[in-house]
Structures are given as C-alpha cells and as structure tokens.
Amino acid sequence: MNLEYLDPEYFRTPRKILIDENGRLTDFLPEDPLSAANQLFRQTIAYFKEKGYYKYAVLQVSDEPWSKEKQEYIRRTVTRFRQLEKELPPIISAGAVRNRSNLNGYITAWCPQFPQFNPSDYRNMPENESLYFYQCLYKPDFPMFMIDRPGIEPRIAALICWKYQAGGFLYWASEQWIAGHPSTPENRKKLANRWIHEEWGFPFQNAPGDACFIYPQKDGVIASLRAQYIRDGVEDYEYLSILKQYRNRALRKGVMNPELRRNVEALLKVPDHIVQATNVWTRSLSELENFRSQVAAQIVKLKELTEDAPE
C-alpha cells in the first residue's frame, strides 16, 4: 500500500479522483483535508482486511528519506497512522537505512540500496523489524539492471537477498517505456498513447532500460532478457527456500547425518564464492548453475530421506 497520497496536504488542491454518475472523473476538494485523509486511510485498511490482503500488505510512506525534511515527514505520518490503526503492516521507505536515517522506531521494514548496506546494522533487530533491499539506476560495482550490464547482475540480486535474509526487493518500476522523460508536457502527451507510439524510449537516457523490463506491442507486452534473468534469480531463491523446508522436515524426522547437514547448511548460507558481499559475487554463469545443481541434488536427497520416515 503506497499511502503517501493520504497526506492531508495532497487534498488541499483539487484532485480528479472521484467518478460522477456519468462515469467521468471529477475534482475532489474536501473542506477538512485532515479528516478526509484519515477517513480514506481507515477505509483503505478496512478494504484490505475485508479482502484478506492485510496479512500480505506492506505500508510505504515515502521514498528515499535522505533529507531532514523527508525524515520529519515520515515520522509525522507514521505517528498519525499509528493513532488511526493499532496494528499496522510493515512500514517501509525505499532507501531507509537502519541506524542512519533518523527513523528508528518508525520504519519497521528497512530498505537500503546495495551500496548503503552494512550487515552489522541489521544484526539483532527486534522481532517487528525486517530487511528489504532497493536498487535503481547505476551503482558501480553492485548488481544493476540496465541493458548494457552483464545478464548475471539482475539474477544475482535474489541470492544477495537470500544471503542476508531479506524479505523483499524493491525496484521503482518495470514498464516505464516512454518518449523521453515524463517531466515535459510533450512527453506526457505521448505517454498517454504509449502502447502504440513508435518513438517509445527509456525514462533515463544515461541508464538504458532502467525500469523497463517489458516492452510494448499492440497486442500486449513481451519480456526482456533481463526480465527472464530476474525470473532465474527468483527461481534460485525458490530452490533455497525448498531446500530449507526439506532441511527442517529432515531435522524433525531425525534422518540427517552430520555430513549431510553440514553440506546442506553450507548451501543455505550461500557460499562466499557465490556471494560474499553486495558488491562481491561470482561473475561466472557456470559457477552459478553448478551451485543451483548442488542445491537441487540435496533437495532430491532430502525428499527421498523424508518421504517414508515417520515424524
């Protein structure tokens, strides 16, 4: 849930967010912006709970809190939300760094970019705090997602997440194909017809492909190679998750010998020759595929061991 737009200031100017009886968007300008923002917040929370989505929700209050003004805005907004709802979902701000953003006690899902990450900041976190990662644009020496970068980079990001037990990964967009940057009026006009506009391009010319992982065509979209590499990384993560499940099952059933457990635990930690740090990881696709094969082999072995063993 991106609730940055539930700031009372957002409602102090007319917003075309209501639909009249004829199906047309109409301006919304409440007499009391604070009451309107609070009411919409409560209604949003109620809707998520009613539909069963609330347990999966993450509450995003703002992005990149690197200025004192933005940090103060987040502290004020989180305080207001907590007065309206006792049990909030994880509160996230892309780029918020634990112990370094003046937001301890407010943010509960920390989301540093790879270059901002220091493992020691995230040790011994309270139970209500978690780690996510966030990445965008060029970050030399760290995994990047542009067209002109090696394909292993979008893939390795998922194993970095597993290595440091990050619960999620944020990227600012995936379908921002446009005709130049959207900040200019002419480009915004083109954006309205972007599905078939023959001059579509990328939002940042010095970061080709950033936030553009699928490409438009008249009948829908097609995946870029980078989208497929991201998928491969998600599958690497899933392999490890499956291995962890079978490890836990084998431990419950008492069917793991010491050597097997050592091998499994070493894989679950992601060896340093695969990922040593957010900026130190293998550049070898064959090495990465061999790692996946080892994980798969241990999954099969544990599956066979646990199939008939009693609990």
218, exposed or middle or buried, with CB in 10 Å at 0-12, 13-18, 19+?
Answer: exposed
The pLDDT of residue 230? 96
pLDDT digit string, tens, across residues 31-41: 888 898 898 89
pLDDT digit string, tens, across residues 200-258: 667 777 888 888 898 877 777 889 999 999 999 999 999 999 999 999 999 999 999 99
The pLDDT of residue 1? 67
> Under a CB-based contact definition with an 8 Å cutoff, are residues 146 and 213 in contact?
no
Other CB atoms within 10 Å distance of the CB of residue 90: 19
Q: What is the DSSP letter of 230?
A: H
Rounded Cα distance, 184 and 181, in Å: 7
Q: Which two tokens stand for residue 182?
A: 């959207």
> Under a CB-based contact definition with an 8 Å cutoff, are residues 40 and 96 in contact?
no
The pLDDT of residue 195? 56
pLDDT score of 88 more than 60: yes
* DSSP letters for 260-308: HHHHHHHHHT--TTTEEETTEE---HHHHHHHHHHHHHHHHHHHHHHHS
Question: Bridge-partner residues for 178, per DSSP?
Answer: 201
pLDDT score of 147 more than 60: yes
The lowest-confidence range among 17-26, 84-93, 98-107 is 17-26
pLDDT score of 292 more than 60: yes
SS3 of 187, please?
Answer: helix
What mean pLDDT is predicted for residues 147-157?
Answer: 95
Residue that wins the pLDDT comparison between 5 and 39: 39
What mean pLDDT is predicted for residues 303-309?
Answer: 86
SS3 of 142, please?
Answer: coil
Measured in whole angstroms, the distance separating CA 88 from the mean position of its chain's CA atoms is: 18
Helix (H) / strand (E) containing 234:
helix 225-253
Q: What percent of the chain has pLDDT over 90?
A: 65
Measured in whole angstroms, the distance separating CA 51 from the mean position of its chain's CA atoms is: 22
What mean pLDDT is predicted for residues 33-57?
Answer: 91
Question: Bridge-partner residues for 131, per DSSP?
Answer: 110
The pLDDT of residue 76? 93
pLDDT score of 9 more than 60: yes
83, exposed or middle or buried, with CB in 10 Å at 0-12, 13-18, 19+?
Answer: exposed
pLDDT digit string, tens, across residues 193-202: 555 555 666 7
> What is the average pLDDT value for the chain, to the nearest integer?
88
pLDDT digit string, tens, across residues 257-289: 999 999 999 999 999 999 999 999 999 999 999
pLDDT score of 7 more than 90: no
